[in-house]
């Protein structure tokens, strides 16, 4: 229903969900103008890529009208978790500008010009800034929020679970009511967007199921243009229709279980506005999620600048896309409703094209002038070198070639410098030194420009957590490992209401190893929760909660199950601070357990894979549960994500308990010497520490004294060079773990021998001892012959000493 008056916003607490939507003529024309601005940004953006000024373009053309409707239902405090088609929506809520759009297209690494990723992501990857420059939280209820986009298709879905579920926690947990900078009584809705083709992925279905189970206030939009690049829906979905597939999630009348599901055409302006208002009002008020399947969408420029859709779309489809282009249909509707004349709309279209081009031109100058200036500086220094160099002709040609470059890139400057320095190698002149210094300075600047914020740079970094050493009485109490954790988690949950823990069997059962026993009964089902078997969305649930100010402690039941969630941990969680250049953070703590259990699927140790895929997340490997508690106490004082791998065989072992169990902290990246020795340094972690100690006892009987070092923390690794100190004493070293050969042992070797300079202190070849290449076979014997045991360690260390001093350590076992 159209009226020429301002929109009347329905009240949250009362009123019909189907009240008429009133939109003024002026607002409709503003929307039409914005749609055209967005379309022109896409068209000009494609031209900039094809001309070589930008590297790649992916745009939201064809989705403009639906996104305008979504923006009208989006309120301050709400969150979006979307993908790279949502530029019109971002423009409509004022969370992105045309200037920022082009700044991202040109990869401008300046957060003041490109606040979404500071040039670190491709265009149309948006993310609002949740943090102040010092890393403290902004008031998220007073701004429109979007979690930082990532490219892997469907990967925005897992975090959507937590973004929505946070509203339920904020509404239903009284102990969270004071956190008003994150929520106002849980009234916030999480809006998700996804393309039709990505809905074929498992992450989509897992997330939909989790959202429904959790009754999270989510409004998910499916932008359906019929294709996934060149593959039509008939190859993507059974029955080719997502609405048909999703009917099983439809809630029954008067029920709050399930989704409200809507199907609406992507070119029908008023129907879209009414649908989004209704869905968002119900989700906001009743915490009932909704799916809006937006069909008959088009994609005028194809998938991206890397190809042309004319190659795979039929003439009939191309004709349909022209006829049902959403902006064209909106224009026809405006004229039909006599809101504006064709001539008036023509003028709007001309003005928007001109204004967008002007913005782009101005932004290009802002971007390129500093690089042109740097290029001129390089050319001037090269010219100085020419004056005295025998290579002046070659240098002059190099300089001219640099200055002839049409599109400026800093890499061109660096390549020219390298070539110039090669030409004049051996020449000594102030100008040569000046050029080399210019290069050094630029490398330092670029390291910060592109590499900052992989880890926290706020005052909450782990480096600022005060170390509190454990205090033991003369006769300390002993508890089983699971009891140690249970006592610690009770204290943690009691002192910090933001801590929410969940996972498979965590709630009623208290964890498969009882470390959470009794916690659900004490703190309630919302703070200590069971989940289904859904590792991807357990992790996504944690990310979303953390983005909204909570401190999730998410459990992946076993280390061997971590690969289910590893892609999201690597692509999303590990990169959040980096890809926003400090604009967002998600201090998730992931608990899991592994090592020394028997069996193919429960005894693995993929630590090398974990370490290399999770740069940006701390990876901690405590040898027992007291050590694990020290890490948890530290981590909860930081704003950084971490993975803690508890030793599976340690839950029943008795440990001495410090008097300050719930307060002591362990610094990250600081190894501990658990046995002194002068002959060989053995470096390991987790369950292998105890095995190494047993081997050291046997070696001592032969006169070999082993220094056993527990690294405790793989990321960060030995920040103070403690292992190098041991190597300087022993001059021999063995790296030991349960991973495959070349896994984490090779990583540790590089850290010590290469990065710390341990090579210069070696009297014997450095050695590694890992598990077999195959998975651990089942049973006690299978485990023994698949993983390093005390006898293997004895042999490896003894062989090192035998090679060095065969007379003193003769071989007796071969």
Query: What is the arrangement of strands in the sheet containing 733-736, beginning at the earlier edge strand?
Result: 672-675, 706-710, 680-684, 733-736, 767-769
Please tell me the distance from the alpha carbon of residue 480 to that of residue 482, in angstroms, as a whole number: 6
Residue 548 sits at φ, ψ, to 5 deg, of -110, 20
* Closest among 421, 418, 410 to 385, alpha carbons compared: 421
Q: Where are the beta strands (DSSP E) in 138-241?
A: 145-146, 190-195, 218-223, 227-228, 231-232
Check if 462 is active-site: no
Count the Cβ atoms, other than its own, within 10 Å of residue 722. 17
Instruction: Provide the 3-class DSSP secondary structure of residue 701.
Output: coil
Token digits of residue 559: 């280390």
Please tell me the distance from the alpha carbon of residue 168 to that of residue 170, in angstroms, as a whole number: 5
- DSSP secondary structure, 41-87, as one string: HHHHHHHHHHTTSSS-----TT-HHHHHHHHHH--TT-EEE--TT-H
- H helices of 304-341, in order, are 315-323, 326-336
**Residue 146, strand partner residues:** 80
Token digits of residue 464: 């600022």
- Whether 664 and 678 have beta carbons less than 8 Å apart is answered as no
Please tell me the distance from the alpha carbon of residue 779 to that of residue 638, in angstroms, as a whole number: 41
Catalytic residue (choose from 602, 612, 618, 774): 602
Q: At what angle do helices 342-386 and 326-336 cross, to 10 degrees?
A: 140
Please tell me the distance from the alpha carbon of residue 40 to that of residue 82, in angstroms, as a whole number: 22
Helix (H) or strand (E) holding 631: helix 625-635
Token digits of residue 316: 């009939």
Query: Contacts from 397-401 at CB under 8 Å and sequence distance 24+?
Result: 398/423
Please tell me the distance from the alpha carbon of residue 733 to that of residue 765, in angstroms, as a whole number: 8
Token digits of residue 334: 């405006």
Residue 99 sits at φ, ψ, to 5 deg, of -60, -45
**Rounded to 5 degrees, what angle do the CA atoms 432, 438, 440 make?**
105
Residue 739 sits at φ, ψ, to 5 deg, of -75, 175
Q: At what angle do helices 202-214 and 535-547 cross, to 10 degrees?
A: 60
Please tell me the distance from the alpha carbon of residue 80 to that of residue 189, in angstroms, as a whole number: 9
593: Cβ contacts below 8 Å, ≥ 6 apart: 513, 557, 558, 559, 645, 646, 647, 648
Please tell me the distance from the alpha carbon of residue 507 to that of residue 486, in angstroms, as a whole number: 13
Token digits of residue 289: 């999620």
Please tell me the distance from the alpha carbon of residue 555 to that of residue 661, in angstroms, as a whole number: 21
- Whether 84 and 58 have beta carbons less than 8 Å apart is answered as yes
Please tell me the distance from the alpha carbon of residue 609 to that of residue 740, in angstroms, as a whole number: 10
Annotated catalytic residues are 602
């Amino acid at each position: 229903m159209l009226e020429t008056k301002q929109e009347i916003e329905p009240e949250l607490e009362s009123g019909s969900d189907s009240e008429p939507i009133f939109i003024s003529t002026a607002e409709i024309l503003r929307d039409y103008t914005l749609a055209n601005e967005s379309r022109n940004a896409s068209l000009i953006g494609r031209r900039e890529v094809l001309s070589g000024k930008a590297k790649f373009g992916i745009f939201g053309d064809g989705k403009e009208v639906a996104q305008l409707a979504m923006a009208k239902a989006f309120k301050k405090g709400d969150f979006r978790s979307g993908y790279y088609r949502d530029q019109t929506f971002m423009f409509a809520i004022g969370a992105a500008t045309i200037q920022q759009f082009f700044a991202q297209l040109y990869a401008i690494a300046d957060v003041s010009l490109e606040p979404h990723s500071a040039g670190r992501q491709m265009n149309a990857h948006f993310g609002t800034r949740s943090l102040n420059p010092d890393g403290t939280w902004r008031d998220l209820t007073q701004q429109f929020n979007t979690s930082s986009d990532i490219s892997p298709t469907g990967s925005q879905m897992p975090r959507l679970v937590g973004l929505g579920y946070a509203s339920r926690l904020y509404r239903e947990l009284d102990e969270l009511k004071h956190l008003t900078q994150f929520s106002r009584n849980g009234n916030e809705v999480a809006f998700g967007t996804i393309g039709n083709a990505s809905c074929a992925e498992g992450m989509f279905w897992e997330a939909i199921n989790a959202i429904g189970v959790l009754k999270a206030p989510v409004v998910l939009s499916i932008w359906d243009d019929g294709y996934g690049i060149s593959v039509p829906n008939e190859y993507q979905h059974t029955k080719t229709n997502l609405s048909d597939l999703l009917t099983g999630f439809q809630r029954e009348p008067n029920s709050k279980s399930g989704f409200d599901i809507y199907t609406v055409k992507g070119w029908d302006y008023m129907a879209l506005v009414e649908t989004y208002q209704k869905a968002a009002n119900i989700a906001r008020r009743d915490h009932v999620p909704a799916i809006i399947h937006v069909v008959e969408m088009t994609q005028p420029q194809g998938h991206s600048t890397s190809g042309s859709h004319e190659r795979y779309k039929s003439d009939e489809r191309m004709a349909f896309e022209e006829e049902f282009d959403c902006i064209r249909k909106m224009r026809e509707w405006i004229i039909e409703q006599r809101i504006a004349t064709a001539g008036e709309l023509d003028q709007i279209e001309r003005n928007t094209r001109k204004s967008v081009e002007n913005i782009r031109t101005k932004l290009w100058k802002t971007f390129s002038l500093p690089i042109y200036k740097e290029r001129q500086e390089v050319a001037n220094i090269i010219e100085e070198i020419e004056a005295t160099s025998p290579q002046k002709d070659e240098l002059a040609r190099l300089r001219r070639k640099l200055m002839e470059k049409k599109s400026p890139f800093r890499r061109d400057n660096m390549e020219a410098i390298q070539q110039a320095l090669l030409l004049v190698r051996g020449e000594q002149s102030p100008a040569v030194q000046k050029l080399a210094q210019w290069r050094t300075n630029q490398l330092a600047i670029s390291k910060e420009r592109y590499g900052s914020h992989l880890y926290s740079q706020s005052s909450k970094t782990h480096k600022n957590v005060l170390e509190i050493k454990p205090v033991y009485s003369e006769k300390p109490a002993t508890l089983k490992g699971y009891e140690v954790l249970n006592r610690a988690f009770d204290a943690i949950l009691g002192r910090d209401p933001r801590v929410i823990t969940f996972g498979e069997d965590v709630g009623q059962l208290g964890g498969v190893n009882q470390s959470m026993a009794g916690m659900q009964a004490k703190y309630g089902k919302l703070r200590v929760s069971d989940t289904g078997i859904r590792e991807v969305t357990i992790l996504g649930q944690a990310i979303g909660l953390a983005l909204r100010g909570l401190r999730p402690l998410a459990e992946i039941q076993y280390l061997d199950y971590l690969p289910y969630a590893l892609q999201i941990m690597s692509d999303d969680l590990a990169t959040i601070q980096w890809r926003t250049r400090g604009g967002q953070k998600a201090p998730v703590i992931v608990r899991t357990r592994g090592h020394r259990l028997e069996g193919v699927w429960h005894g693995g140790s993929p630590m090398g894979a974990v370490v290399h895929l999770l740069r940006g997340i701390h990876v901690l490997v405590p040898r027992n549960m007291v050590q694990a508690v020290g890490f948890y106490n530290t981590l909860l004082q930081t704003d950084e994500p971490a993975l803690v791998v508890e030793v599976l065989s340690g839950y029943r072992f008795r440990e001495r308990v410090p008097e300050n169990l719930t307060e002591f902290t362990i610094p990250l990246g600081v190894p501990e010497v658990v046995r002194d020795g002068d002959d060989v340094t053995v470096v390991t972690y987790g369950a292998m520490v105890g095995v190494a100690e047993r081997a050291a006892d046997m070696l001592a009987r032969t006169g070999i004294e082993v220094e056993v070092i527990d690294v405790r923390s793989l990321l960060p690794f030995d920040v103070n060079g403690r292992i190098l100190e041991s190597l300087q004493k022993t001059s021999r070293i063995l790296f030991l773990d349960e991973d495959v050969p070349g896994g984490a042992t090779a990583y540790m070797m590089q850290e010590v021998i290469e990065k710390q300079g341990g090579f210069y202190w070696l009297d014997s070849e450095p050695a590694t001892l890992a598990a077999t290449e195959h998975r651990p076979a089942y049973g006690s014997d299978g485990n023994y012959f698949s993983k390093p045991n005390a006898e293997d360690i004895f042999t490896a260390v003894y062989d090192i000493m035998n090679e060095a001093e065969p007379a003193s350590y003769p071989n007796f076992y071969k």
